[in-house]
């Protein structure tokens, strides 16, 4: 059941993030890939901070706090020009 729940959460988050990216950032940010509980994006460097904030907010608030029973959804992120040069966001 836990894996199924995670799968549902990531799908809901992806739909919300895709909508926000389209509305606020047009073609400058996009979801590229989803692997298990990880999302990979391509983002124009000049808007990276703003996009990261929107993504974090959408993922951490995918389920209303009243339904989470005090259990937070924690999100971490990294960015970089390639896999070898990633830095924590």
Query: Residues 4-54: pLDDT tens digits?
Result: 788 889 999 999 999 999 999 999 999 999 998 899 999 999 999 999 999
Residue 3 has pLDDT above 70, yes or no: no
Q: Residue 18 corresponds to which tokens in the numbers above? A: 């895709």
Range of the domain at 27: 2-88
Are the beta carbons of 79 and 89 closer than 8 angstroms?
A: yes
Q: For residue 8, what is the domain's CATH number?
A: 3.30.70.370
Query: What pTM value is reported for the model?
Result: 0.87
Q: How many domains does the chain have?
A: 1
pLDDT tens-digit series, residues 55-76: 999 999 999 888 988 899 999 9
């Amino acid at each position: 059941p836990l894996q199924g729940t995670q799968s549902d959460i990531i799908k809901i988050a992806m739909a919300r993030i895709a909508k926000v990216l389209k509305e606020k950032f047009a073609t400058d940010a996009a979801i590229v890939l989803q692997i298990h509980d990880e999302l990979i994006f391509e983002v124009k460097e000049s808007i990276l901070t703003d996009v990261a904030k929107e993504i974090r907010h959408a993922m951490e608030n995918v389920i209303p706090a009243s339904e989470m029973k005090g259990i937070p959804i924690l999100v971490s992120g990294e960015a970089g020009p390639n896999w070898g040069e990633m830095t924590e966001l």
